[in-house]
Amino acid sequence: MQQKNNNTPRTKRRVKLLWRVFFIGIISFNLLIIMMNFGLLGYMPSMKELENPSSALSSDVYAADATLIGRYYVTDRSTSKYNEISQNIFNALLATEDARFYEHSGIDPIATAAIPIYVITGKKRGSSTITQQLAKNLFPRENQNMFTLPFLKLKEWVMAVKLERNLTKNEIITLYLNTVPFGDNVYGIRNASLTFYSKTPDKVNINEAAVLVGMLKGNTLYNPRRNPERALERRNVVIDQMVKYGYLKEDEANKIAKEPIVLDYHKLDYHEGMAPYFRQVVEQEVKKICKDLVKPDGSNYNIYKDGLRIYTTIDPRMQRYAESAVEQHIAELQKQFSAQSGYRDGSVWNKFKKYLDLAIKETDRYRQLKDQDMKHADIIREMSKPIPMKVFAWNKQHSKDTTMSPIDSIKYMKMFLQAGFMAMDPFTGEVKAWVGGVDHDYFQFDHVNINTKRQVGSTIKPLLYCLAVDNGFSPCGSVSTMPQDFPTKKGYNAGGAEYGQLPMSMALAKSVNNAALYLIKQVGIDAFADFLRRCGVSSPIDKVPALALGVPDISLYEMLGAYSMFPNGGINVRPMFITRIEDKNGTVIKNFVPEQKELINQNTAFKMVKLMRGVVDFGTAKRLRYRYGFKADMAGKTGTTNNQADAWFIGYTPQILAGAWVGCDDRYLRFNSEALGQGAAAALPIWALFMQKVYADKSLEIRTDATFKQPDNFDDCASFDPTSLQRSGTYNTSGYSTSDDSSGIDEMEEFQ
């Protein structure tokens, strides 16, 4: 009994100590939480940062019909609003990740209390709520180890509670779905649904939702593209969870569980997808525009991080037709090009050895070996050894596996013909199709871009004729085709002297070079150069007589802008390819409108239409009628430069203006035959194939019965007689003009 009395004070002291420790612990814990909340124990994001995460958002590029055609990003991330996400996705997520989401306040006490049981039993189970996972996604753990993990976990609890107190449940679950990573390095539910199913998240069905949510358990392990069997198993687990928590009836779940996973995979990357060259130029243009666009916080917008929405003028249907036309024609033309003497056996490189040597020295492989102090002869020996590689080929895959030496691969790739094609609305300037090359994966150089210049040859002549007509020359008047004298060049004979005096209409249809020299002498070289500037040509222009023959290097983009005044009644319009830019919230931050100016009057414009209609009806572009069977009203001009280094055709109808260029990137590689390499044979077919597809697609409303509108009180000197050319005997049986359509610039340095 005495022993019991002796232990009573000691027991009371122990109980008192325990209570003291308990209260001190509670107070310390609360002080810890308070200090953590105010950032006294390390960085704690503010509520503003939690609501508006600084995660980089990809910028999306849209076609004219709002089709997503591309994306620019550091991390492929996008955002959606709550009402833009299917309830199927929310149900699958809640059933799998956090069934009591709408009951707790950021921390699930039941799941948290069960942690010790899972530790003892060794059973794996996540206890983090969606809100806690969101906090972790927004501010990933750093320097994590067994000692810091409890502290970091506590920090996430604090952030989760702050999120719950300041955001609605719908805002939290939406923010979570916008920040979580899916397979293939895709972030956000919008990107995931677009990538794996080519549909926006509001259209995702139960099967698809279960697959997407299933990936969150392991975005590589359960990636349906890479691991379809595991993804199927995981999808069915998600379906079972949806049944368990009442989101799905069992009979419906059994039906879905028997369905396969059918993807409509479409990962938008740099090379793949529609209009890669166009997306490339949009990217560079928006980057320049962003330098002048300021966000509310005073910083500039960033195309790779700020989730911009870029709306363009490109028409997906016309773009497909343009890409198809380029591929169809160039694939066939390449066979003829490669079969030429010297190209078939590679002996052409004996003539151009110095250019080949320069190309070898510009390769990364050569530079790497040079950096290793290897001598030139040894490098050449090393680069002459055959190795396995993948190269471009005109097949379905646009590639083939082969074995060849690096030097042979340089020769092989350089001998591929390239092409540029662009189509636009001549009234608004809106670019409808843009094909910068034959394959963006292997050839990134864009042949439409304003910075890509090639010698334009005879396509410059309509601009010269236009200036002459606008200054009083009559299309039915005669022009001289005799050699012309200039202060810097006497007796300049570029071809065509045998015609003598020739009606202007016939001179353009035949593309007679001496007639162009005569006209530039009459209007003045300086005046023509100034006129080109007013037409929107910004490329360097040498004020020489050969300007009349197309000596300047000018981009296809500029040439189409200059030609726009012909079908547009004298109004010049600058090509435009972006209509507006919005921020991530859909607020317009930049609008674009057509840039138009009147250059010539309607009478002059229609006279030029009739002159250029003659090119198609009975001139160098006659094959549009007899070979391709076009009956529609159309006009245009071919162009061919010295020795067929460049082939051009720019044509237009009352509703659309388009142009094509064809050639090798290296100008010394060219067609030996004028019959194959002239503009009418090498470039015109792309335009023709494109227009065939455009006319066939009635949804485009490009009509074959549309006609050029003649102005009121039009002063028509006379009708043009196409039969006179045939009577003159200047057309051979194959149907193209035997007259020289090349620039005839004999003072141009070879291989310039």
Matching residue, tokens 């002869």: 377
Residues of the chain with CATH 3.40.710.10: 420-572+609-728
Angle at 563 between CA 559 and CA 566, to 5 degrees: 175
Phi/psi for 249 (5° steps) reads -80, 150
**294 by DSSP, 3-state: which?**
strand
Q: Which CATH class is domain 75-130+167-269?
A: mainly alpha
- Rounded Cα distance between 463 and 474, Å, is 15
**182 by DSSP, 3-state: which?**
strand
- The dihedral built from the CA positions of residue 82, 85, 89 and 93, taken in this order, carries a sign that is negative
Q: pLDDT, tens digit, for every residue of 355-414?
A: 999 999 999 899 989 999 999 999 999 999 999 999 999 999 999 999 999 999 999 999
Q: pLDDT, tens digit, for every residue of 173-215?
A: 998 898 888 988 888 899 899 889 988 899 999 999 999 999 9
Maximum Cα–Cα distance across the chain:
143
pLDDT score recorded for residue 529: 97
pLDDT score recorded for residue 676: 93
**What is the fold of 420-572+609-728?**
Beta-lactamase (3.40.710)
- Rounded Cα distance between 538 and 515, Å, is 26
pLDDT score recorded for residue 159: 74
Element (H, E) at 230: helix 228-244
pLDDT class of 750 with cuts at 50, 70, 90: very low
pLDDT class of 555 with cuts at 50, 70, 90: very high
Helix 461-470 × helix 513-523 angle, to 10°: 40
Indicate whether 13 pLDDT > 60: yes
pLDDT score recorded for residue 127: 55
Contact 544, 251 (CB under 8 A): no
DSSP 175: H
Phi/psi for 743 (5° steps) reads -70, -25
**62 by DSSP, 3-state: which?**
strand
Number of Cβ within 10 Å of residue 242's Cβ equals: 26
| Residue 327 vs residues 330, 396, 441, 616, 625: alpha-carbon distances, Å | 5, 11, 14, 24, 22
DSSP 251: H
- Rounded Cα distance between 306 and 195, Å, is 20
- Rounded Cα distance between 172 and 160, Å, is 10
- Sort strands 309-312 and 59-62 into parallel, antiparallel or unpaired: parallel
pLDDT score recorded for residue 746: 33
Q: Is the model more confident about 87 or about 297?
A: 87
Percentage of the chain modeled with pLDDT above 70: 83
Q: pLDDT, tens digit, for every residue of 671-728?
A: 999 999 999 999 999 999 999 999 999 999 999 999 999 998 887 665 444 444 433 4
Q: What's at 471, amino acid-wise? A: N
Contact 253, 242 (CB under 8 A): yes
Strand partners, 576: 430
- Alpha helical stretches, state H, 585-678: 602-618, 623-626, 674-677
In the predicted model, what is the mean pLDDT of the chain?
A: 86
Of 144-158, 266-280, 327-341, 479-493, the least confident: 144-158
pLDDT class of 40 with cuts at 50, 70, 90: very low
Contact 651, 621 (CB under 8 A): yes
CA 227 to chain centre: 30
Element (H, E) at 13: helix 2-37
Q: Assign residue 564 a region: left if phi > 0, alpha if psi is -120 to 50, beta otherwise?
A: alpha
- Rounded Cα distance between 378 and 370, Å, is 10
Q: pLDDT, tens digit, for every residue of 422-471?
A: 999 999 999 999 999 999 989 999 999 999 999 999 999 999 999 999 99
| Residue 196 vs residues 147, 216, 652: alpha-carbon distances, Å | 40, 14, 40
- Rounded Cα distance between 399 and 73, Å, is 27
Residues of the chain with CATH 1.10.3810.10: 75-130+167-269
- Rounded Cα distance between 472 and 717, Å, is 12
Element (H, E) at 401: strand 400-404
Structure tokens of 728? 């003159």
* CB-based contacts of 190, cutoff 8 Å, min separation 6: 78, 79, 80, 84, 178, 200, 201
pLDDT class of 269 with cuts at 50, 70, 90: low
Number of Cβ within 10 Å of residue 664's Cβ equals: 17
Q: What's at 225, amino acid-wise? A: R
- Sort strands 578-582 and 588-591 into parallel, antiparallel or unpaired: antiparallel
* CB-based contacts of 728, cutoff 8 Å, min separation 6: none
Structure tokens of 355? 């250019």
Indicate whether 148 pLDDT > 80: no
**Total residues found in the chain within this entry:** 752
3-state secondary structure 557-598: HHHHHHHCCCCCCCEEECCECEEEEECCCCCEEEECCCCEEE
Average pLDDT of the residues in 26-40? 56
* CB-based contacts of 423, cutoff 8 Å, min separation 6: 318, 322, 431, 432, 433, 656, 657, 658, 690
Q: pLDDT, tens digit, for every residue of 633-651?
A: 999 999 999 999 999 999 9
